[in-house]
Structure 1
């Protein structure tokens, strides 16, 4: 019997009710649940009060294997043609990324690629969300509707947004899992038919609009860049004076992006380059770095910084690595101005953006190292160190604590060894070759000690009571633990960064002097609370006074050696000079009060050295 004859027989009147093996015509068009309902009348027909009919023929489509083989052969030929036009293209990767957002990602172009687009943030297969509008025929019983709504909720937004254990998103995910176990039998046909209609889970309904993906941030192209010769000089200065200590950017990739003109396109690389130039302008004597007018407009690089500040960024846009890099660079620039108070809010905003991206968790990074993941990791670590440093110098709570993060440390590999000749990430530092990144890793470990000190010996009384850490013995134990941590840190410093006066001038000498000057600064930080007059009754008082005084003199001696050999104590050591000078001034005042001023000539000379070095930094 043919398909048409079968359908006519189904529709013909009969004295006995037959069991229909198919849904009615309306249900087949709407993919509903006719065969499962009583009397073979589906919920749609009952709700709309229409008759179930079985007159439309069944259409079964079969494709012969020869047709499928011909299509596959045609695809292979097209792929070969594309390969001939662009030998470096990865077709499978391009097909996977065809729905990626239009905003360019961080400056991580493969060195072997000749295209002008930046790397996408690899390793996170995130599906795009599109707005979903329900049709007029989706009304069901109230209980089934509830389960169906949970089926529409997408828990994977268009850009990666981190949600922790207490998040309501996690609760929704649990509810969806519960639906899969408990609601499957009742609503199986609804959810199954919905998946046929919407195979890509297009997104939340009106009730869950707050879960929809955010709109992309369309950063306009920038045009007011420094002249080419000045730009090259400023980039060189940035990588020599800043990136060598805080390795935010991958130098080979960054320079390649500049040469390809990526900064002239919309996206985040343009403002990144402007801020690199603005930061590098601090060490340039070129008059073209100065603006016209008065006050801030005359600061070197201010005109490029202000361009970024005026347009960046949309608060509803999904974050990416450019956002972190730009926040770091803004703080680096502001630290060299008279408006350093603005660094606090800028760093806090960067920390929030990084946490939103999940940059503080190790699961955010793929198992195999990637250039994109390493840039994200380094940008967030630099923000964390900036935050902890300002929390100490301002006496304010940090935005994030060490126990809130479990991201790995940066890879100890110099920029030139990140990729092989083909552009594949290998991160293979040659054996026996000291890494320039070792400085930053050692500095991170030192900052962890400082962060712990700020949360313990500098804690307010309320925090101490809540933690039951208010007794005097607790202070002694904590200070002893911090001293032990500092001593262990010194033992772990690699040989090429150990403090050796005979070391040749060069980057490692500057890094070593900076590292150990901060070590002495953090020694002062641990013991400073106990040199106050109100703490003079503490058993730690006399010991802390001597440790702070010796640490201050040692820091001045290290930086004075650096100053005599290279002509500057480096701008990043200004805070150390200030604290060291203040400790010695306090000691001088104390000794004068006790009538022992005739023994203070050495201390006065130490303070004079600090003033001389501070003036040298001011003239840079």
Structure 2
């Protein structure tokens, strides 16, 4: 089997090479479809400088007879890290979650194992679930906890609906479920499980897994092929939400189950507005809310997984539901959920279209999308000042405060994942000064978004630390931000942002260690420790006394090295084999593929900018002091755009001034000068007197700006443990 896989990979590589060669020849053929006879809109040579490939990562596991897993270019780093060999804990986690250890009878076990399609001729009825219903007071407590702690972000079930279910079940002195559809009971148990997931009870994990299994079993009790209701859709949604909240290794489960959820919703016609069928007003609002929750989840999940979405907006005709019934939102201003739906509908379709174009995409299109995302207005009640002091504070209400933070993260995470590949290309092409590169807007955008998310979450953590520690969504974005910050320092230690990026990286990693302890993957702290060490060593070597401060560009062979799966965190381009399931130990060594100037000797000491993580304290118990006196003259703390001949128009300058007055004050002095980089000048290119001469490059050549390959190469260097 191994030999066969190797043979197929070789054939695939040969085929791809032939296609690249064919596309690079000046034959006038289209690069998207090499065999097409369609004439291009412009000469191929004129299009190539601004075109970048969009492929992704494919992992093949020989232990599952060629089982494969794909993540695209926009994938979140937490999902890309699953392509790396496991650390040995996955099997233990799965055994702990196995329903046979949860104390449910054999009949329910059979139903759980039949989820999601169910048993065709099921011999069981709902009575087997009666012993597992909690008392009324307990059920009400868990329902309230769910709506307080989780429904602020997603609302597939309205509060009045769960109250109706509670009244139906507990209408007498004991639970009565004869007249209640099994899928509605599944919604009930999912609410119970999710409420327990946010409780402070130390022994809640076993019971919440039991409730989750009961929810799955009740879906299987009434097969979805026989008929579906809104409760069916809600049940699938809540099951996915529970897995997403509690299991860090369930990304594929969530992806597949939510795909079924979308199909069930389409069977019901939720993609069309209920007013066309003269339904009751409450039912219309219920259907609208449910559809837009599904569309929002599906779109964001597709984006962070790097895969095509299940729903396309052009195939729908469903109106937005009425504005949030939120007492904190007054007048005609949009509430969080209403804003969330509109932002998703306005920005995500174009983001996904850009991310999944079957071939090359234009950088100018990306910058137009950047402007659209950045200028999308957040309601004033949901705005917050990131610079501290006077301004718009975080709400004292934890629910509203997390909605404030989520608005920031929805925009900044979107921008970060869009720009990071171009950011890496700029670092590769001009590691001495990436701000003079034609993709310099992506360098600024990636750095700015990473910092804004770190600053925002730290501000929220000071006000609402306890609830925030349970939401992996926020910490996942911090994890991705750390990767971008470390990439900047490692790839361009002489950049004017490098010192600040290293300080932010140290602070963010320590903050991540403290705040994410309840929800993070165990392997993530080890990954961050390696990232920090590699960035620190690169920065130290560059600024060491006697260093020539030169950074040599890696050779084409270095950029093309795939290694094991190191670099997957950055969106590797190619095929990754998993011959074993054992993870690399912390002491494992690999040869470095990102070489630096031989005239830059490695300094015996290292700089520690910011607090250390527990991994680093064990490794480096006595860190060296920072030579601040020498650093002051080596790192420019302000950036002068005039040195690169970059100018902005008066309209852009006015726009940048207004934008910076509300959002950029949280940056230190150097960040106040980012506006003069022409950051919002769409169609931005390298100026005529820039230090780097931009040359047209053909896709498929060693120097072609393949975004997955370049981003992967930087992370591969960061994850290199040769210095360990």
TM-score (norm 1): 0.54
Establish whether residue 301 from structure 1 lines up as the match of residue 192 from structure 2.
Answer: no
- Cα deviations by residue, 1:190-246 (Å, 9 ceiling, x for unpaired): xxxxxxxxxxxxxxxxxxxxxxxx999997353112233332221111000112221
Q: CA deviation at 1:617?
A: 4.7
How many angstroms apart in 1 are the aligned matches of 2:306 and 2:520? 25
The two structures, once aligned, show a CA RMSD in angstroms of: 3.4
Q: Which residue of 2 aligns with 1:566?
A: 464
SS at match of 1:411: coil
Q: Is the CA contact (8 Å cut-off) linking 1:577 and 1:610 kept in structure 2?
A: yes
The alpha carbon displacement at 1:354 in A equals 0.8
2:375 is aligned with 1:375: no
- Checking the alignment, whether the CA contact within 8 Å between 1:231 and 1:277 is kept in structure 2 is yes
1:62-101 counterparts in 2 under 5 A?
A: none
1:245 matched to 2:153? The reply is yes
SS in 2 for 1:489: coil
Separation (CA, whole Å) in 1 of partners of 2:394 and 2:224: 48
> Which residue in 1 is equivalent to 2:255?
344
For 1:446 and 1:596, locate their aligned partners in 2 and report how far apart those are by CA, in whole Å. 31
Q: For the residues of structure 2 that align with 1:285 and 1:557, how far apart are their CA atoms?
A: 27
Superposition pairs of residues 529-608 of structure 1, within 5 angstroms? 529-533=421-425, 540-568=438-466, 569=468, 571=471, 572-592=473-493, 600-608=502-510
**Which structure has the larger Rg?**
1
* Alpha-carbon offset, residue 558 of structure 1: 0.8
CA distance in 1, matches of 2:509, 2:346: 27
Residues 540 and 374 (structure 1), Cα distance of their counterparts in 2 relative to 1, 3 Å cut: farther
Equivalent in the alignment of 1:108: none
Change (3 A) 1:253 1:598: closer
Q: Which residue in the other structure is 2:186 paired with?
A: 271
The answer to whether the aligner puts 1:495 opposite 2:495 as a matched pair is no
1:585–1:607: 8 Å Cα contact kept in structure 2? no
Map residues 135-154 of structure 1 onto 2, 5 A cutoff. Answer: none
1:314-365 C-alpha deviation (Å, 9 max, x unpaired): 1321211011110110011000213232100111001001111111122665
Kept after mapping to 2: 8 A contact 1:530/1:536: no
Structure 1: distance between partners of 2:438 and 2:125 = 55
Q: Given that residues 457 and 475 in structure 1 are in contact (C-alpha distance below 8 angstroms), is that contact kept between their aligned partners in structure 2?
A: no
* 2:345 maps to 1:448: yes
Gaps of 5+ in 1: 1-213, 292-299, 417-428, 465-469
1:488–1:366: structure 2 CA closer, same or farther, 3 Å change rule?
farther
Partner of 1:282: 197
Kept after mapping to 1: 8 A contact 2:426/2:438: no
The aligned residue for residue 177 of structure 1 is: none
Structure 1: how far apart are the matches of 2:318 and 2:238? Answer: 21
Alpha carbons 1:458, 1:529 under 8 Å: kept: no
Would the aligned equivalents of 2:450 and 2:481 in 1 still touch at CA under 8 Å? yes
Does residue 227 of structure 2 align to residue 329 of structure 1?
A: no
3-state DSSP of counterpart to 1:341: helix
Determine which of 609, 614, 617 is the counterpart of 2:516.
614
**1:499-544 CA distances to partner (integer Å, 9 max, x unpaired)?**
2442431132221112112211112122123123389569652210
Write the mapping of 1:305-316 to structure 2, written as runs, cut at 5 A: 305-313=212-220, 314-316=223-225
Partner of 1:509: 401
Verify the 8 A CA contact 2:492 2:498 in the aligned structure 1.
Answer: yes
Residues 412 and 452, structure 2, Cα contact 8 Å, conserved in 1: yes
Alignment CA distance shift 1:360-1:218 (3 Å): farther
Tell me the equivalent position of 1:439: 336
8 Å Cα contact 1:327-1:350 kept in structure 2: yes
Q: In the aligned structure 1, how far is the partner of 2:349 from the partner of 2:268?
A: 25
Give the aligned partner of residue 161 of structure 1: none
Q: Residues 388 and 219 (structure 1 numbering): CA distance in 2 closer, same or farther, change over 3 Å?
A: farther
Partners of 2:368 and 2:259 in 1: how far apart?
Answer: 29
Shift of 1:587: 1.5
Shift of 1:606: 2.9
Aligned pair in 2 of structure 1 residues 255, 218: CA closer, same or farther (>3 Å)?
A: farther
Partner Cα separation in structure 2 for residue 535 and residue 615 of structure 1: 33
- Give 1:258's match in structure 2, choosing from 156, 166, 175: 166
How many residue pairs are counted as aligned between the two chains? 372
Q: Answer whether contact 1:324 1:380 (CA < 8 A) is retained.
A: no
Mapped partners of 1:219, 1:373: distance in 2: 32
Q: 1:318 aligned to 2:227?
A: yes
Matched, 1:228 2:130: no
Decide whether the 8 Å contact of 1:510 with 1:562 is kept in 2.
yes
Equivalent residue in structure 1 for 2:415, among 523, 528, 541: 523
Q: Which residue of structure 1 aligns with residue 721 of structure 2?
A: none
Mapped partners of 1:578, 1:511: distance in 2: 20
Residues 427, 492 of structure 2: 8 Å contact kept = no
2:366 is aligned to 479
Please give the secondary structure, in 2, of the residue aligned with 1:286: coil
Tell whether the 8 Å contact from 1:219 to 1:312 is kept in structure 2 after alignment: no
For 1:217 and 1:446, locate their aligned partners in 2 and report how far apart those are by CA, in whole Å: 47
- Counterparts in 2 of 1:364 and 1:319: CA distance versus 1, 3 Å: farther
1-structure distance, mates of 2:450, 2:195: 30
Q: Distance in 2 between matches of 1:317 and 1:502?
A: 52
Residues 609 and 495 of structure 1: is their aligned pair in 2 closer, same or farther, counting only changes over 3 Å? same
In structure 2, distance between residues paired with 1:510 and 1:249? 19
Q: Do 1:252 and 1:415's aligned partners in 2 also have CA atoms closer than 8 Å? A: no
Distance 1:408 1:439 in 2: 17
Match of 1:147 in 2: none
- Asked if structure 2 preserves the Cα contact closer than 8 Å seen for 1:271 and 1:326, the reply is yes
Judged with a 3 Å threshold, the aligned counterparts in structure 2 of structure 1 residues 502 and 302 are, in CA distance, closer, same or farther, namely same
Runs of 4+ in 1 over 4 A off after TM superposition: 214-219, 363-369, 534-540, 592-599, 616-619
The residue number in structure 2 matching 1:138 is: none
* Separation in structure 2 between the aligned mates of residue 594 and residue 497 of structure 1, nearest angstrom: 35
Partner-residue secondary structure (3-state), 2:419: helix
Return closer, same or farther for 1:489/1:415 CA change in 2, 3 Å cut-off.
closer
CA distance in 2, matches of 1:215, 1:286: 39
Distance 1:431 1:390 in 2: 31
- Asked whether the 8 Å contact 1:347–1:387 carries over to 2, the reply is yes
CA–CA separation in structure 2 for the residues paired with 1:315 and 1:217: 16
Gaps of 5+ in 2: 1-119, 171-175, 386-391, 431-436, 522-724
SS in 2 for 1:412: coil
